[in-house]
Chains A and B, each alone.
Chain A
Amino acid sequence: MGTDFHTNTEGRKGISSWIFSTDHKRIGLLYLYSILGFFLTGVVIGLLMRLELIAPGKTIVSARTYDSLFTLHGIIMIFFFIIPGVPASLGNFLLPLQIGARDVAFPRINLLSWWLYMIAGITAISTIFLPGGPPDTGWTFYPPYSIRTPTNVSVAAFAAFIIGFSSILTGLNFITTIHRLRAPGMTWMRMPLFTWTLYSTAWVQILATPVIAITLLLLILERAFGTGFFDPSKGGDPLMFEHLFWIYSHPAVYVMILPAMGIISEIVPTFSRKTVFGYRAIVFSGLTIATLGYVVWGHHMFTSGMSDVSNMVFSFITFAVAVPSGIKVFNWIATMYKGSVEVKPPMLYAFAFIFLFSIGGLTGLINSAVATNIHIHGTFFIVAHFHYTMFGGAGFAFFAGLHYWFPKMTGRMYNFRASTVACITLFIGFNVLYFPMFLLGWQGMPRRYYDYPPEFHWNNLISTLGSWILAAGLLIMFTNLARALFKGEKAGNNPWDGTTLEWQTTSPPPHENFAEIPVVTQGPYSRKREGQETGDR
């Protein structure tokens, strides 16, 4: 019989029983802790940036420092928090559980991914201490500025290159796992939706990440040897960098949001005590988003001097992506119809997600119409859009998932009242922080501005105040979870009455997940059990 994976140390002791473990659950938790560590770093930098922007002129840091702050903030949040966020932590923990497997297909490669992740993270952070200082290019690394600046752009780009490897390895691991290790009877159309989104995400990771790898490598070579690919003084074309960069970085935003959508697709049926509405529609819309998402990258370049034909084509395809996203939203909401809805913390976070992501996504449409993009590109409107999608969307879904699976991962339960308070505080703080940015952008305040004319003062002030409310919310949330980790009540194996396979093993699950590999006979959210009536009470 398997033992609790927390106590099964594979013959190792202390920290090395974690950092050399090939158990997907331990690796998932390793990822979770390290990702939260990077998140905290990014968040503190965000707070500093808001403090600088509280008033016009210099407030706390110099222009040079501010430039590095938003660059590091962007790099950390994108590459080290939100891209690996859901798939590598929650995904690693839950994918084998959800498909009834004992582990992922390549446990050792899984561990390697985590190591690469850590090495990349430390490399990125190390730029702060290296002579020359942290990069000051923005997370987009646009040349020719990124070729000229004396800061440590190459080191940061190399860090992103390494994490690309980590991401690719996770992707191919997940695809192989899903193809090879599903439990008997788990057909494709019986797979839980979170697993489905991990599957689509893994494909995007595999297809897009190599492109950023080569792009960053070429940038590094350009800086080291002057190869001239992106340097107009040698005949290169800076727009080619923009193309290559966004060929990866747009699909990357779907790497962030797809698994987040998967989490919501798990939570909503569970707390409605009902099978999900339109399972197939949700599955195929996810695949459509992944596919279309690959060919819309040009919407980041409408004002770059790209050809007008491209503007038209990219704008058109971008609009098309909204349709499958809408299908998901509509199906989640329809799932509640005639259900038995109970708003426990995970569900509350899911509601916050649906609302905030809808705002983020719908403002994405204002971005993607060429005529309006010409005005708001490069302004705080964009900053607001992507915080709504990434933080309000992917971030809140991550929190939702954390609350949903916390009892499964730790075996303990947190305080509901505290997490409700946290969620509401986060929600309010979030809107106070980011909504004014839409107005700022519409008024014309460009992003990456260290200083701004006085007419933008009010909205910036409000926004900074919002960041403190948000900080308070995060503090409550994490304190609550940290307390529960040590002092929480025992949660039981299936506290939410979930239907997917992970709820049918113990909490936390034993070393190889299942005492006996389950045989699947029905869809993931079906409540018709043998010997049970529909909709048990």
Chain B
Amino acid sequence: MLSMKEKKDTSGTTGHGTLIVTWLALLFLTGLTVWIAGVNTDRHGVAINIIVASMKAGLVLFVFMRLKYESLFFRLILLLIVVTLTAIMALTFLDVLYR
């Protein structure tokens, strides 16, 4: 596990090129999600928009927030949070949907 000595170099810098590409990708995805919402009004719209939002969040997390370079531990807690939220949602809907 994580100890005093880090395996990865977490203090490096992210190059300007990577940052700009990520930024452009985020803008593109924003456009995409607005466009999808415009043409697609049925129930799939919800899922698609959430997926696009998650892709954007992923970009911010892994590039801007440098999760890509952090130790495994940080990614594991992110997973833990996602699992926790999913569990809460699922169990609550077990009540709401079958009441």
Enumerate chain A interface residues (CB-CB to B < 8 A). Answer: 179-180, 188, 207, 211, 239-240, 243, 247, 294-295, 297-298, 305-310, 313-314
Is A295 within 8 A of B91, CB to CB?
Answer: yes
Name the one of A180, A294, A307 contacting B95, with C-beta atoms under 8 angstroms. A307
The reply to whether B91 and A313 contact each other, CB–CB distance below 8 Å, is yes
13 contacts between A and B (CB under 8 A): A179-B73, A188-B1, A207-B84, A243-B95, A247-B88, A294-B84, A298-B91, A306-B99, A307-B94, A307-B95, A309-B95, A310-B94, A310-B98
Q: A179-B2, A188-B1 are in contact. Are A298 and B87 (CB under 8 A)?
A: no
Whole-angstrom CA separation of A180 from B71 in the bound complex: 13
Q: Which residues of B contact A (CB under 8 A)?
A: 1-2, 4, 73, 80-81, 84, 87-88, 91-92, 94-99
Nearest chain B CB to A292's CB is how many angstroms away?
Answer: 11
Whether the pair B92, A309 counts as a contact (CB closer than 8 A) is: no
Contact between chains at B92 and A243 (CB < 8 Å): yes
User: Roughly how many angstroms separate A294 CA and B1 CA in the complex, as a whole number?
Assistant: 24
Cα–Cα distance between A314 and B1 once the two chains are bound (Å):
33
Q: Say how far A185's CB is from chain B's closest CB, in angstroms.
A: 11
Q: Please, which residue of chain A has its CB at the minimum distance from the CB of B73?
A: A179
A313 touching B87 by the CB < 8 A rule?
Answer: no
Where chain B touches its partner, the secondary structure class is helix
CA distance A432 to B95 in the complex (A): 39
* Most chain A C-beta atoms within 10 Å of own C-beta, residue among B80, B84, B88, B95: B95
Within 8 Å CB of A247, what residues of B?
Answer: 88
Q: Give the docked Cα–Cα distance between A247 and B84 (Å).
A: 11
Whether A308 contacts B91 by the Cβ 8 Å rule is: no
Taking the closest CB of chain A, its distance from the CB of B65, in whole angstroms, is 17
Task: Pick the contact of A295: B1, B4, B87, B95 (CB < 8 A).
Answer: B87
- The contact of B87 among A239, A294, A307, by CB within 8 Å, is A294
- Contact partner of B98 among A240, A294, A305, A308, CB < 8 A? A308
Minimum CB–CB distance for A184 against chain B, Å: 8
Q: Are B84's CB and A239's CB within 8 A?
A: no
A308 to B97, CA, bound (A): 11
Closest A residue, CB atoms, query B95: A310
By Cβ-Cβ distance, the 7 closest A-B pairs, closest first, are: A307-B98, A310-B95, A307-B99, A309-B98, A306-B95, A307-B95, A310-B94
Query: In the bound complex, do residue A309 and residue B94 qualify as a contact, i.e. CB atoms below 8 Å apart?
Result: yes
Docked Cα-Cα span, A307 to B92, in Å, equals: 10
A170 CB to closest chain B CB (Å) equals 17
Assembly CA distance A298 to B99 (angstroms): 14
User: Chain A's nearest CB lies how many Å from the CB of B46?
Assistant: 20
CA distance A297 to B91 in the complex (A): 10
Q: With a CB–CB cut-off of 8 A, which chain A residues contact B96? A: 307
Q: Which of A211, A243, A310 has the most CB of B within 10 A?
A: A310
A298 to B87, CA, bound (A): 13
Residues of B within 8 A of A179 (CB): 2, 73
Inter-chain pairs besides A307-B95, A307-B99, 4 sampled, C-beta below 8 Å = A295-B87, A297-B91, A310-B98, A313-B91
| Nearest CB on A from B38, distance (A) | 29
- Alpha-carbon gap, A110 to B87, bound state (A): 31
> Do B1 and A239 touch across chains, with their CB atoms under 8 A apart?
no
* A308 cross-chain contacts in B, Cβ below 8 A: 98
Give the residue name and chain of the B residue nearest to A211 (CB).
Answer: B88
Contact between A305 and B99, CB atoms less than 8 A apart: yes
Residue of B nearest to A208 (CB): B84
Contacts of B94 in A (CB 8 A): 307, 309-310, 313
Name the residue on A nearest B99 (C-beta): A307
User: Given A179-B2, A188-B1, is A298 in contact with B95 using a C-beta cutoff of 8 Å?
Assistant: yes
B94 to chain A, nearest CB (A): 5
Residues of A within 8 A of B4 (CB): 180
Alpha-carbon distance between A100 and B2 when the two chains are bound, in angstroms: 17
Report the nearest B residue to A305, measured CB to CB.
B99
- How many Å lie between the Cα of A294 and that of B80 in the bound state? 12
Q: How long is the Cα–Cα vector from A243 to B92 in the complex, in angstroms?
A: 7
**B39 nearest CB across to chain A (Å):** 30
The residues of A that contact B99 with a CB separation of less than 8 Å are 305-307
CB A360 to nearest CB in B, in angstroms, measures 25
Chain B: minimal CB distance from A69 (Å): 33
Chain A residues lying within 8 Å of B87, measured Cβ to Cβ, are 294-295
A contact residues around B81 at 8 Å (CB): 207
Q: How far is the CB of B96 from chain A (nearest CB, A)?
A: 8
B91 / chain A contacts, CB cutoff of 8 Å: 295, 297-298, 310, 313-314
Q: Give Cα A179 to B97, complex, Å.
A: 41
Chain B residue at minimal CB-CB distance from A175: B77
How far is the CB of B7 from the nearest CB of chain A, in Å?
Answer: 14
Cα A207 to Cα B85 in complex, Å, equals 10
Instruction: Say how far A301's CB is from chain B's closest CB, in angstroms.
Output: 8
Bound together, the chains give a CA A306 to CA B92 distance in angstroms of 10
A469 CA / B1 CA spacing, docked (Å): 51
A239 to B99, CA, bound (A): 11
- When distances are taken between beta carbons in the complex, the residues of chain B under 8 Å from A313 are 91, 94
Assembled-state Cα–Cα distance A247/B89 (Å)? 11
Query: What CA separation (Å) do A478 and B62 show in the bound complex?
Result: 54
C-alpha gap A314/B87 in the complex (Å): 12
How distant is the Cα of A313 from the Cα of B94 in the complex, in angstroms?
Answer: 9
A309→B91 CA distance, assembly (Å): 10
The smallest beta-carbon distance between B2 and chain A, in angstroms, is 6
B60 to chain A, nearest CB (A): 20
Query: Distance in Å from the Cβ of B20 to the closest Cβ of chain A?
Result: 33
Cα distance, A247 to B85, chains bound together (Å): 11
Q: Which residues of B contact A211 (CB under 8 A)?
A: 88
Residues of B close to A298: CB separation below 8 A: 91, 95
Q: Cβ of B73: which chain A residues have Cβ within 8 Å of it?
A: 179
Residue of chain B at shortest CB distance from A203: B80
Please report the C-alpha to C-alpha distance between residue A243 and residue B91 in the assembled complex, in whole angstroms.
Answer: 10
CA distance A298 to B92 in the complex (A): 9
